[in-house]
Copies of this chain bind each other. A is one copy, B any other.
Amino acid sequence: MTAIMQTYSHAAVMNFLNEVSGNFPDAIALAAGRPTERYFGRLSSDALREAIDHYGCSTTQLLQYGRTAGVINTLVATQLRRDEGVPADANRLIITAGCQEAIALCLSALCPRPDDVALVCNPTYIGATGAAQACGVAIKAIPSAGDDLITALEQCIEQLRLERRCPRVLYLIPDFDNPTGRTLSEVQRRAVLTTCERHRIVILEDNPYGMFRYEGSPIPPMAALDEAGCVIYLSTYSKTICPAVRVGSACLPHTLFGDRQASAKLFQELTERKSFVSVNTSPITQAIVGGILLRHDCSLRDWIRPTVDLYADNREVMLQALKKQFEPHPDISWNRPDGGFFLSMDLPFRFTADAVVECATRFQVIVMPLAFFALDDSQDRRIRLAFSAVDRDDIASGVASLSRYVTQRLESMGTRERESPVAASAL
């Protein structure tokens, strides 16, 4: 059994990112997976008050301790049904302090025993592996074996069985993945569902970006395709409304692998755990979200249209800039995500923390190495470029700066490093 070692520790990555942004405020940040601030004006303190008033609860409901599982559950469930096609039931939905809390609660509730394991993609959102670490939950990375996710997943499960360990949960971002920008096809989703049902593995479907599609047809969330009762749907208002509300949710299936009581029991356990981690999610920020949902008939499609348009435009600008700057390099490639906040880029050399600092200091651009999100060294030659919270002019300059860095790097290193194959995954 190979121990899974994060190439960079979570602490190191967090510190590093905080430091690099603070130390180089003039660099163009293609690093942060944040929503744009362009339309934050719609959420002035006046607008927040109006949302609370529109929600229309009593001061007691607004200011006192509230129900642990949340107070706006019916509105959120309605929005998930309308906007995302998720068969959400308010009685199986728990409001959390952002989606991050939902991840932490689900991982610890679903993996209580030492031999329980959470499966994750590699690379994956650092908040998921960080939560697992903080909660003492073991993780195993599914090797990023091209598109054959199912074979890799099955191998992973088989290997764990041999080790007498038990895969309990699979954390997944099917739409516009963080950090890769990858989207799973409906065929892949159904195959993952079948595999997970067979092995009784709960899928934590994290969908922060699903509403931000810029081309192509929407693919149903896995929770909408789930007939076996194996998907917990995680959502957040951080991207659609704003991060500061710290309101997310976990929506359980009606049954857990056909067992209605098991789902009810899990809901109860998540609620109990939440009561001991944060008591309840602020009823004030829930009222803000509730007021906005009520005012928009429980759909945020119109509300997010300006941001969707902006991100779509930004993505286009970034893709154009990449084409212009990197087309001469046949060994440099990138994907074209149909939505979301990021794309990922493959480089012919290792891109480490040192490279981030050099880019930031000498070329005034900050990008994210995928190594920061990886559980082995397989991602050492890849980076994530975020286009969500950057001005379009900055995108072009940032990509041009990155290109100058890359050119310099290629010139200085000669051909040896360039031609060596990507290091094999340690898994």
Contacts and interface: CB of A to CB of B under 8 A. Distances in A.
A244 to B, nearest CB: 4
Given A43-B63, A243-B63, A278-B246, A14 B272 contact: yes
Interface string A138-157: 00000000000000000000
Contact of A48 (B35, B41, B52, B64): B52
Contacts of A288: 284
B127 A246 contact: no
Interface in A131-172: 131, 133-136
Given A11-B268, A41-B59, A43-B59, A245 B34 contact: no
B100 A276 contact: yes
A262 interface: no
Chain A's interface: helix, strand, loop or mixed, by majority? helix
A136 B276 CA distance: 12
A424 to B, nearest CB: 29
B278 A100 contact: yes
A265 to B, nearest CB: 10
A275 B45 contact: no
Given A60-B37, A282-B244, A285-B282, A276 B65 contact: no
The count of identical subunits is: 2
A378 interface: no
B60 A40 contact: yes
A62 B45 contact: yes
Nearest to A247: B282
25 contacts: A10-B272, A11-B268, A14-B271, A34-B65, A35-B64, A37-B63, A43-B63, A45-B49, A45-B52, A48-B49, A48-B284, A65-B238, A65-B244, A66-B244, A97-B278, A101-B278, A104-B277, A127-B275, A131-B277, A134-B272, A134-B277, A245-B282, A278-B278, A282-B282, A285-B285
